[in-house]
Amino acid sequence: MSLRHILLGILQQPKSGYDIKKMFDQVFNNFWGAELSQIYPQLRKLTDANMLTVQEEPSDKGPNKKIYHTTPAGKEELVQWLLSGPVTNTEKLAYLAQTYFLGSLDNNQQRLEFLEDLLEHLKIWHQTLLDVQQDMRQHFPDYPHGLPDEEFYPNLTLMLGVKKVGAKVEWAQESIELLKARM
Protein backbone atom coordinates (compact mmCIF):
# COMPACT_ATOMS: atom_id res chain seq x y z
CA MET A 1 0.00 0.00 0.00
CA SER A 2 2.59 2.54 -1.12
CA LEU A 3 0.30 4.99 -2.94
CA ARG A 4 -1.05 6.23 0.39
CA HIS A 5 2.44 7.18 1.55
CA ILE A 6 3.54 8.57 -1.79
CA LEU A 7 0.56 10.93 -1.73
CA LEU A 8 1.55 12.09 1.74
CA GLY A 9 5.06 12.69 0.44
CA ILE A 10 3.89 14.69 -2.56
CA LEU A 11 1.53 16.72 -0.38
CA GLN A 12 4.34 18.06 1.77
CA GLN A 13 3.73 20.75 -0.80
CA PRO A 14 -0.04 21.37 -1.14
CA LYS A 15 -1.60 20.30 -4.43
CA SER A 16 -4.84 19.17 -6.06
CA GLY A 17 -5.51 15.65 -7.32
CA TYR A 18 -5.05 16.79 -10.87
CA ASP A 19 -1.70 18.41 -10.02
CA ILE A 20 -0.63 15.14 -8.40
CA LYS A 21 -1.46 13.23 -11.56
CA LYS A 22 0.79 15.56 -13.56
CA MET A 23 3.56 14.93 -11.07
CA PHE A 24 3.27 11.16 -11.57
CA ASP A 25 3.35 11.55 -15.33
CA GLN A 26 6.23 13.98 -15.50
CA VAL A 27 8.51 13.65 -12.49
CA PHE A 28 7.76 10.14 -11.23
CA ASN A 29 7.33 8.41 -14.58
CA ASN A 30 10.56 6.57 -13.97
CA PHE A 31 9.43 4.75 -10.82
CA TRP A 32 5.72 5.16 -10.14
CA GLY A 33 2.45 5.79 -11.91
CA ALA A 34 -1.15 6.23 -10.75
CA GLU A 35 -4.47 7.01 -12.40
CA LEU A 36 -6.86 9.73 -11.27
CA SER A 37 -9.34 7.00 -10.38
CA GLN A 38 -6.81 5.76 -7.83
CA ILE A 39 -5.72 9.19 -6.62
CA TYR A 40 -9.12 10.71 -5.85
CA PRO A 41 -10.46 7.86 -3.66
CA GLN A 42 -7.13 7.66 -1.83
CA LEU A 43 -7.17 11.40 -1.12
CA ARG A 44 -10.60 10.98 0.36
CA LYS A 45 -9.47 8.10 2.59
CA LEU A 46 -6.53 10.13 3.85
CA THR A 47 -8.77 13.09 4.54
CA ASP A 48 -11.20 10.85 6.48
CA ALA A 49 -8.22 9.58 8.48
CA ASN A 50 -7.29 13.18 9.38
CA MET A 51 -4.00 12.99 7.54
CA LEU A 52 -5.04 15.62 5.02
CA THR A 53 -7.14 18.79 5.05
CA VAL A 54 -8.81 20.36 2.02
CA GLN A 55 -9.08 23.93 0.88
CA GLU A 56 -10.98 25.01 -2.22
CA GLU A 57 -9.44 27.45 -4.64
CA PRO A 58 -10.59 28.85 -7.97
CA SER A 59 -8.70 27.46 -10.97
CA ASP A 60 -7.30 29.42 -13.91
CA LYS A 61 -9.17 27.07 -16.16
CA GLY A 62 -12.07 24.75 -15.39
CA PRO A 63 -13.84 24.10 -12.07
CA ASN A 64 -12.53 24.83 -8.57
CA LYS A 65 -9.40 23.04 -7.35
CA LYS A 66 -9.35 21.17 -4.05
CA ILE A 67 -5.96 21.82 -2.56
CA TYR A 68 -4.87 19.15 -0.08
CA HIS A 69 -2.51 19.88 2.83
CA THR A 70 -0.82 17.35 5.15
CA THR A 71 -1.66 17.41 8.85
CA PRO A 72 0.93 16.60 11.55
CA ALA A 73 -0.55 13.07 11.70
CA GLY A 74 0.04 12.77 7.94
CA LYS A 75 3.63 13.92 8.25
CA GLU A 76 4.21 11.39 11.06
CA GLU A 77 2.77 8.58 8.89
CA LEU A 78 5.20 9.53 6.11
CA VAL A 79 8.18 9.59 8.47
CA GLN A 80 7.26 6.15 9.85
CA TRP A 81 7.12 4.78 6.31
CA LEU A 82 10.62 6.07 5.62
CA LEU A 83 11.94 4.74 8.93
CA SER A 84 10.52 1.28 8.17
CA GLY A 85 13.33 0.88 5.59
CA PRO A 86 13.38 0.49 1.82
CA VAL A 87 10.22 -1.08 0.38
CA THR A 88 11.41 -3.42 -2.35
CA ASN A 89 8.56 -4.77 -4.45
CA THR A 90 9.21 -7.16 -7.34
CA GLU A 91 9.55 -5.36 -10.66
CA LYS A 92 7.01 -6.10 -13.34
CA LEU A 93 8.19 -5.36 -16.86
CA ALA A 94 6.00 -7.31 -19.23
CA TYR A 95 8.10 -6.37 -22.26
CA LEU A 96 11.06 -8.26 -20.81
CA ALA A 97 8.90 -11.34 -20.34
CA GLN A 98 7.90 -10.93 -23.97
CA THR A 99 11.55 -10.67 -24.99
CA TYR A 100 12.27 -13.84 -23.03
CA PHE A 101 9.67 -15.71 -25.11
CA LEU A 102 10.47 -14.05 -28.43
CA GLY A 103 11.74 -17.39 -29.73
CA SER A 104 8.09 -18.46 -29.97
CA LEU A 105 7.73 -16.20 -33.01
CA ASP A 106 9.16 -18.11 -35.93
CA ASN A 107 9.50 -15.04 -38.15
CA ASN A 108 12.77 -13.24 -37.51
CA GLN A 109 11.42 -10.04 -39.10
CA GLN A 110 8.67 -9.95 -36.46
CA ARG A 111 11.18 -10.38 -33.66
CA LEU A 112 13.24 -7.50 -35.03
CA GLU A 113 10.15 -5.31 -35.28
CA PHE A 114 9.31 -6.06 -31.66
CA LEU A 115 12.72 -4.94 -30.47
CA GLU A 116 12.68 -1.85 -32.67
CA ASP A 117 9.29 -0.84 -31.26
CA LEU A 118 10.70 -1.29 -27.80
CA LEU A 119 13.78 0.78 -28.53
CA GLU A 120 11.63 3.60 -29.84
CA HIS A 121 9.47 3.51 -26.73
CA LEU A 122 12.51 3.55 -24.43
CA LYS A 123 14.01 6.50 -26.30
CA ILE A 124 10.83 8.55 -25.95
CA TRP A 125 10.75 7.74 -22.26
CA HIS A 126 14.39 8.79 -21.91
CA GLN A 127 13.65 12.11 -23.56
CA THR A 128 11.01 13.01 -20.94
CA LEU A 129 13.47 12.30 -18.17
CA LEU A 130 16.19 14.39 -19.76
CA ASP A 131 13.76 17.27 -20.23
CA VAL A 132 12.82 17.17 -16.55
CA GLN A 133 16.46 17.09 -15.50
CA GLN A 134 17.42 19.97 -17.75
CA ASP A 135 14.57 21.96 -16.25
CA MET A 136 15.86 21.24 -12.77
CA ARG A 137 19.44 22.08 -13.72
CA GLN A 138 18.29 25.48 -14.99
CA HIS A 139 17.00 26.34 -11.54
CA PHE A 140 19.93 24.84 -9.63
CA PRO A 141 23.16 24.81 -11.63
CA ASP A 142 25.34 23.67 -8.66
CA TYR A 143 26.94 20.30 -8.13
CA PRO A 144 24.26 18.06 -6.59
CA HIS A 145 25.70 17.89 -3.07
CA GLY A 146 25.15 21.63 -2.74
CA LEU A 147 21.43 21.47 -3.46
CA PRO A 148 18.89 22.11 -0.69
CA ASP A 149 17.00 19.07 0.64
CA GLU A 150 13.87 19.69 -1.42
CA GLU A 151 15.98 19.37 -4.57
CA PHE A 152 18.82 17.06 -3.53
CA TYR A 153 16.73 13.92 -2.95
CA PRO A 154 14.54 14.33 -6.02
CA ASN A 155 17.76 14.86 -7.96
CA LEU A 156 19.09 11.50 -6.69
CA THR A 157 16.14 9.71 -8.25
CA LEU A 158 16.66 11.56 -11.52
CA MET A 159 20.30 10.47 -11.54
CA LEU A 160 19.19 6.86 -11.35
CA GLY A 161 16.46 7.50 -13.90
CA VAL A 162 19.00 8.61 -16.45
CA LYS A 163 21.31 5.65 -15.72
CA LYS A 164 18.46 3.15 -15.85
CA VAL A 165 16.90 4.35 -19.06
CA GLY A 166 20.36 4.74 -20.55
CA ALA A 167 21.07 1.08 -19.78
CA LYS A 168 17.78 0.06 -21.38
CA VAL A 169 18.32 2.07 -24.55
CA GLU A 170 21.87 0.68 -24.87
CA TRP A 171 20.57 -2.82 -24.35
CA ALA A 172 17.77 -2.55 -26.89
CA GLN A 173 20.28 -1.21 -29.43
CA GLU A 174 22.72 -4.06 -28.74
CA SER A 175 19.92 -6.61 -28.90
CA ILE A 176 18.90 -5.37 -32.32
CA GLU A 177 22.51 -5.69 -33.53
CA LEU A 178 22.74 -9.24 -32.17
CA LEU A 179 19.45 -10.16 -33.77
CA LYS A 180 20.57 -8.75 -37.13
CA ALA A 181 23.78 -10.80 -36.86
CA ARG A 182 21.62 -13.93 -36.53
CA MET A 183 19.40 -13.28 -39.56
Partner DNA sequence: CTTGACTATGTAATTATTTACATAGTAAAC
Partner DNA sequence: GTTTACTATGTAAATAATTACATAGTCAAG
Closest distance of CB 125 from DNA, Å = 16
Per DSSP, helices labelled H in 27-148 are: 36-48, 72-83, 94-100, 108-139
- The residues that touch its own copies, with contacts defined as CB under 8 A, are 2, 5-6, 9, 12, 28-33, 75, 78-79, 81-83, 85-105, 110, 114, 117-118, 121, 144-145, 149-150, 152-154, 156-157, 159-160, 163-164, 166-168, 170-171, 174-175, 178, 181-182
x/- map, 44-83, DNA, by CB under 7 A: x--------------xxxxxxxx-----------------
- Residues in binding contact with DNA, number by CB under 7 A: 29
CA 155, distance to chain mean position in Å, is 13
Q: Is 88 in the site for DNA (CB under 7 A)?
A: no
Q: Is 18 in the site for DNA (CB under 7 A)?
A: yes
Q: Which of 120, 140, 156 is nearest to 27 (CA)?
A: 156
Element (H, E) at 164: helix 149-182
CB nearer to DNA: pick between 38 and 99:
38
Interhelix angle 72-83/2-10, nearest 10 degrees: 120
Burial class (CB in 10 A: 0-12, 13-18, 19+), 168: buried
